[in-house]
Structure 1
Amino acid sequence: MSSEDRPLNLSKGASPFASLPGAVGSPPEHYGNPLGEQKRLAEGTAIVDLSHHGVVTVSGPDRLSWLDSLTSQSIKGMKPGDSSETLQLDINGRLEYAMRVIDDGDTTWLLVDAGEAEGLLAWLTKMRFMLRVELADRSDDFVTIGSLGTPAIEAAAPNGVPLVWNDPWRSVVQGGHQYAHVAEHPGVEWTYSERLIESAASAEASALPVAGLLALEALRVAAWRPRFATEVDERSIPHELDWLRSAVHLTKGCYRGQETVAKVHNLGHPPRRLVMLHLDGSDGVLPAAGSPVVLAGSDDPIGVVTTAAMHFELGPIALAVIKRNTEHDAELSVLADDIRIAAAQEVIVPRDAGAEANVPRLPRLGAVRR
């Protein structure tokens, strides 16, 4: 599902970035030169307005242990200034929320995609019980700024610790697992971070070199980085997106959905798998999210495009979720606007992902050993 398909937080009013020359959209998708903006963003010299994202805070002495007990990552040991990522799953292990986590020693800050703050806050409120935690939606008070460098603007620090989230995607976190079989994961070049600034400071931030959302999405796709608003649907489990790499701790205590996470990882296989597609650009068509992925010569869908982008070096690329048993060397196509776009598959989650446990074969009852 595209971020544009989800409701945005409009209570802050129009973003000052939307008033910049050439801006298209609010927050801007681009400022008139998407590929040039993308190059500047990759070089670490531009920022991206993410003012449509949400911010939920959890304060109180039980905040970290409480969140640890509810979600997929081990965060109870976070120190002030640490960054993490955690997922909230349903009882069947399906993804319901993805949270980018900062703790400043007093408050835990949960950064979420557009339209997710209200639902997350409501769910967390139901799970409070008698614990010493306080919850708030701070989406109106703070604006999220994304970058792949260190922008010349100070992050907010209401409790003395700058609110900067550094994406853990660059390497496999402790307790995590990577399914991708590659010598060097493209995520190692993904130096992405998000900063919270006070909403009143967003006009000042808009004076810095800027890039649009299209630039950020293209670089994210190239890094094989899943995102809740785009790669997740009602059936998604973390294994399908290789999200155990950064957001799941496989040996922590129980949490909702943990049984499915362990069972699929140790004994089974995820039913679908994430791939990156290199698209034929000769027709000049970039498929929309939801476009069917098919085997060459067939019209029967085996998956869907989740994000498509024009990369300044790789050309047209996309992330897609396809059936697990699709052969790694299968010739694929994407159907878009009555056009069949040839697509070369780059394997992220392989067909044999999961079944990590070496389960010994037990003799049948009554069998005679020889």
Structure 2
Amino acid sequence: MSETPGLYSSPVLARPGAVAAPQDGPDRGTAWHYGDPLGEQRAAVTTAAVVDRSNRFVIAITGEERLTWLHTISSQHVATLADGASAENLSLDVNGRVEHHMVMTDLDGTTWIDTEADRGPDLLAFLSKMVFWSKAAPRRGSERVVVSLLGPKADSILRAVGAEVPAMPYDALPLDAANPDLGLVRRMPWPTRTDSFDVLVPADRLDEWWAKFVVAGAREAGSWAFEALRVESGRPRLGLDTDDRTIPHEVGWIGGVTEFGAVHLEKGCYRGQETVARVHNLGKPPRRLVLLHLDGSADGRPETGDDITVGGRSVGRIGTVVDHFELGPIALAQIKRAVPVETTLDAGPCAASIDPDSYVLDTAVQAGRAAVDRLRGR
């Protein structure tokens, strides 16, 4: 894999019917679809589909202090992460804004991290400069690439290729028990409503493993299918559904490992913690992440970064826009907290409505705010 994400081209793109993802998008270098994007989505929720995500940037960290060191510089509680356990994690700036989102798995003495292709080099550079005297050694893990298996038959696909199946979300096992160095299988809590697995396979054997999954019954699917299901599940993607002002509370990343979050609220100090604690204890985040249903009859679609307006006034920002096989055109969006759920919105050239199931009404008074009010006699 090239160190420059824009130059990467997956060997799976040579498969018959593969249509490359847009070059100006985050999934460039992999397949967008294989001729039937809606059918590929359906397979991912009814049978099984395999998605090439090999452009994700992989980092490997060794050293006996790797987990306690990561714990001090990131938002998740990972100091005691067990062998074969995974977590989602964030790196924040000093103001609590999200700089990096990562999925990490600790297995057999190595912590494997995968993150967005265009953010990976910066994340690796940050980790490398933060080592100081810790016994931790981050490096580019280019010997592994990520593919995802989705759907209710994904576990049978894994067994058919000789892999064990992790039982619970964020559990991980070696891809081949007889050869732990071969890679790993990690069960994820998203994007499908059923079973989702990330598989880190050897980069030089991607073609081989892809063929094994397909022969075992997985349908080839592109990033379009993965993204449609991710949007439906309300899971944000850094750089698409976030901007340079996004804090974790705005996009649902608050929570420990067991809550499928990326920010633990009861851990020690880390960069950006002050903002996280202040919003949690005293205030409300200014925006919320919602699922939008877009008017499919409109002439055109909004693009990521477009304003969402009400009566010409900006109230939010469009994130990922995608066609879903059941829901039609949908999008994730950050909107101002005060916007009511029933509000009709304008998203670029079309009208949009908020999915009420994605709109969490939080009227509780935070503990810190209640304490302040008591002191002031309110």
1:194 deviates by: 1.2
Contact in 2 for aligned 1:240/1:349 (Cα 8 Å): no
CA distance in structure 1 between the aligned counterparts of 2:64 and 2:279, rounded to whole angstroms: 34
Contact in 2 for aligned 1:242/1:349 (Cα 8 Å): no
Q: Which amino acid aligns with 2:82?
A: K
Residue 200 (str. 1) matches residue 224 (str. 2)? no
Q: Which amino acid aligns with 1:135?
A: P
Match of 2:237 in 1: 227
CA distance in structure 1 between the aligned counterparts of 2:123 and 2:266, rounded to whole angstroms: 25
1:16 deviates by: 2.1
Alignment of 1:87-236 (within 5 A): 87-139=90-142, 141-148=143-150, 149-150=154-155, 151-152=157-158, 153=161, 154=163, 155=175, 159=180, 162-168=183-189, 189=193, 191-207=195-211, 208=214, 209-236=219-246
Candidates 222, 241, 260, aligned match of 2:275: 260
Alignment of 1:51-70 (within 5 A): 51-70=54-73
Match of 1:173 in 2: none
Match of 1:276 in 2: 291
Contact in 2 for aligned 1:277/1:320 (Cα 8 Å): yes
Match of 2:11 in 1: 16
Q: CA RMSD in A?
A: 2.4
Match of 2:351 in 1: 341
Contact in 2 for aligned 1:55/1:109 (Cα 8 Å): yes
- Identity score, percent: 39
**Size of the alignment, in residue pairs?**
335
| Cα separation, partners in 2 of 1:130 and 1:189, compared to 1, 3 Å | same
Cα distance per residue 1:92-113 (max 9 Å; x no partner): 1110111101001301011111
Q: Which amino acid aligns with 2:45?
A: A
- Segments of 5+ residues of structure 2 without an aligned counterpart are 21-28, 164-174, 256-260
Candidates 300, 307, 310, aligned match of 2:320: 307
1:117 deviates by: 1.9
CA distance in structure 1 between the aligned counterparts of 2:282 and 2:44, rounded to whole angstroms: 41
CA distance in structure 1 between the aligned counterparts of 2:240 and 2:271, rounded to whole angstroms: 23
Contact in 1 for aligned 2:92/2:272 (Cα 8 Å): yes
Contact in 1 for aligned 2:341/2:354 (Cα 8 Å): no
CA distance in structure 1 between the aligned counterparts of 2:119 and 2:308, rounded to whole angstroms: 28
Contact in 2 for aligned 1:84/1:167 (Cα 8 Å): no
Match of 1:288 in 2: 303
1:71 deviates by: 0.8
Helix, strand or coil at the partner of 2:5: coil
Greater shift, 147-156 or 123-132, is seen at 147-156
1:321 deviates by: 0.6
1:82 deviates by: 0.7
Helix, strand or coil at the partner of 2:356: strand
Greater shift, 339-348 or 111-120, is seen at 339-348
**What TM-score, normalized to structure 2?**
0.82
CA distance in structure 2 between the aligned counterparts of 1:259 and 1:205, rounded to whole angstroms: 45
CA distance in structure 2 between the aligned counterparts of 1:40 and 1:331, rounded to whole angstroms: 33
Q: Which structure is higher in helix share?
A: 2
- Segments of 5+ residues of structure 1 without an aligned counterpart are 1-6, 170-186
Cα distance per residue 1:286-320 (max 9 Å; x no partner): 4221222112xx22221121011111111111100
Cα distance per residue 1:47-93 (max 9 Å; x no partner): 10011101011100000000011111111111121111111111111
| Cα separation, partners in 2 of 1:160 and 1:113, compared to 1, 3 Å | same
